[in-house]
Structure 1
Amino acid sequence: MSSIRFLCHFCRGPLKLTSSVEALGLDLSQELAASKFPSAQGEPGAAPEEGSASRMQTDLEELQESASGWTILSEDEISRSGSSNFTLLGELGPVGTLSSIQRATRGVFDILTGEELDHPLCEDCTDSLLEQLDAQLSISESDIQNYQRCLETRDGVSEDAREALEEELQAVELEEARLVQELEELEKNRDRARVALEAARAETETREQQERQSHRDLSELQWQQLELQDELRSVEARLLYAQTQLTWLKKTNAFQAAFEICCDGPLATINGCRLGCTPRVPVSWGEINAAWGHAALLLQALARTAGLQFQRYRLSPCGERSCLRSLTDAPAALPLFCTCGQSPLLDSKFDEAMVAFLDCLQQFKEAAEKGEPALCMPYTIHAGGGLVGGPEAGEFYSIRTRLNTEERWTKALKFMLTNFKCSLAWVSSRYRHK
């Protein structure tokens, strides 16, 4: 047997029916069964008319339209669709007329609530609703009392006091208007200040970026400064070293440093090479030839320093293979060296080369004696006879090897190198800056 159940409008909980409601529900079912067909109200045995089916269909449609907010559910399901006031649960029994269903529903509402209401509520929701209504009632009563006190106070105030209060009220309203206007101005100022603050922040960020870039540039410049300082100190150190070397070089005699002439017993040496030989001190021809090469280079350097051009011969200093070339005769080379194993007594060209060398030395002596101060060589030179000597030597010694002894030839070479040593001192003193 089907039954009708109702839900609370607020909490959607099922409403518990009393015994009177259940009995009413049975009567409602019977009433619905009895009113299944509207034609049953006529006489028994009367045949149904053709319009009865259409009226039944119309009643069913009206019932469905009126119950469009209702959902027919089983006993285990409770749901609601639409925005109706309550939900019908369970199977719908035999379809009755719309008026009978509405009467049955109003009767159930009256039993559930005890009064005629549009929305069914459960007990808890009813208590909550009553509490809310009591609170609203208390607030309304308090407002009424406040209004009554205000009316009583107004009636007891005199006309002057009322005018004073009204003036005070106007003053307060004016003050309020002024404060509102001031507030608007403050809000505008705040907007302007916010805009200015944003601009200041943007500018600050830009300045910070510029400051960071400036710091990077400063660091780069400081690094370059350190590098330049190191380079400057290095240049200063090199300059100091160069100045020291220059001072030392200015004090140094280039000729004396390049050509060292001294005596080693009966022999004279130039740059460590002995020029000459004796039976007691034999010297190889390679060393003698090298000494002649140093002597030729020295004579050519002295002539260039003094600006002298030799008239009859041209020197060609080539170490151990030095020679002289005649400027007047055929340009035949006069060797200023002697080949090893060859007797110098048979080598006439070697003697001619030594005599020509002595002639070049005499040309330099004559040119140097004209200078200021004049050069004064200790030993006299007779280039035509190939002799070197003088009063200090006691006699003249021949520079030739033919018809001569080793001791006399070596002594002539020694006198010649002594004259070279004096020439070095003279050139160093006179051509110091040059």
Structure 2
Amino acid sequence: MVSPTRSKRSSVTSPRATSSLNVERQATEPEHPNPAPLTHHLRSTLRLFNLLSSRTDIDHPLCDECTQIILASLQRQLDETKKERDGYIAFEKEVRKERDRDVQGLSKEEMEKKIDKLGDEERAAVEQLKAAERDKEKLEEELRALEAEEMALEEEEAEFWRAHNEHLLAADQQAAQLAGLRAAYAADSATLERLERANVYNDAFCIGHDGVFGTINGLRLGRVPGVPVEWAEINAAWGQTILLLYTIARKLDYTFENYRLIPMGTFSRIDKTAGDKATYELYGSGDLHLGRLLHNRRFDIAMVAFLDCLKHLIDHVKSQDQTVEFPHQIVKDRIGDVSVKMQFNQEDHWTRALRHVLLALKILLKWTTNGSNG
């Protein structure tokens, strides 16, 4: 049985310990002729408690309830120890009686036989012990061999894990490089896509308005009474307009069926490729000469041909995207409710028709460059 703990044992103070404490207290507390102040008394008491705590596993001071609990626990342990002691004493008495009965009930010959038998048993036990020792030596040799094999396996395992960790490190490095490459590729792809979708055409073809005039790159397209727009500016605006339609068609990989656009600045023209082939000049002139009426007629045909090409391209875009909307419908030579022909037409109506043309081109340009066309 395990002896009671020091902490529990220390709560029971023996007379000798009490005497020792008294001696130490007398040694630590010098006598004074006068009563000590309260602070000195507290310090002395604290030193005594520290001394008790250092000699036991219990922190002092203890309250009465804790002291009673410890005493009760020690009493229970003491009772259990007494019971165990009584059991050992009874067992010892029983063994002594058993031995005395065996000795008294045997004769000398029987004792000698028993001794011989015990000797034989001892020799047999010794042989068994030797055999067991030989087996033990064999087992120890096998154990040493197994330990050596285990060490070899441990070294092999350590080498395997070193190689495995190196492969993992290399794989992590390659994964990091791959992630970096993928990130760079994604960034480059995004940059490329942004550049591909960048509406650089808005810088090349800036469509706006100036009062009643539609403008492209600051060039006014049209004429109204009281605002003399030079034909050089109008023709230059038509050159930018046909170049824009030509550029959008190429970007959409669209080919016009009946006409071929030939952007040439202020002297752009449209070639008719179906039926009676002909060339129509997409520029006007304010010069007074005999062929002016004929030229204005060809100019009107060129503008109607341009409007026909614009209509076919709009139909192509609508077939690709039903959500795109154009505010003005094109029917023959009219866009919206006005005609693009200049002859036999009012200048403000003609100017409004050209403004509608530029608006349709602006919508086409936006749809083409924002990626809606896939």
Which category of TM-score, normalised to the shorter sequence, fits these structures?
0.3 to 0.5
- TM-score normalized with structure 2 length: 0.44
Q: Greater relative contact order: 1 or 2 (C-alpha under 8 angstroms, separation 6 or more)?
A: 2
Which structure has more helix as a fraction of its residues?
2
> Radius of gyration: which is bigger?
1
